[in-house]
Amino acid sequence: MKIFLESTLILVIVVFVSIIWVILWGSIYLEIGIDIDERYGGMPYVSILILFLVLYKNKLQFSGRNKGKDREKLPKLISKILIFTAISLLFLPPVLSFFFN
């Protein structure tokens, strides 16, 4: 039962954060004249998932009710690489749009 509740909580958080994130970045992209759904629609969504993975593995899993032995943080190098990748995916659509339009 605990696993179901923990999974449901994670799903709700991911959906809520994704909606806010996409609305925020979608409005920024539209403001500068980029339609992300046309060519680069997946990049902001992938960045959301990467950032949530880092956030969950480094912070959120320790604040829940799960007290299992398998809980460990991501190594710092992996965290930095994932965060850099996610931020790059957010800024890549305007750059690509500038060069290919």
pLDDT score at 65: 63
pLDDT score at 80: 96
Among 30, 25, 36, residue whose Cα is nearest residue 87: 25
For the chain, give the mean pLDDT: 82
pLDDT score at 99: 83
Residue 56 or residue 66, greater confidence: 56
pLDDT score at 83: 95
Among 57, 62, 54, residue whose Cα is nearest residue 83: 54
Among 81, 87, 10, residue whose Cα is nearest residue 47: 87
Domain ranges of the chain: 2-100
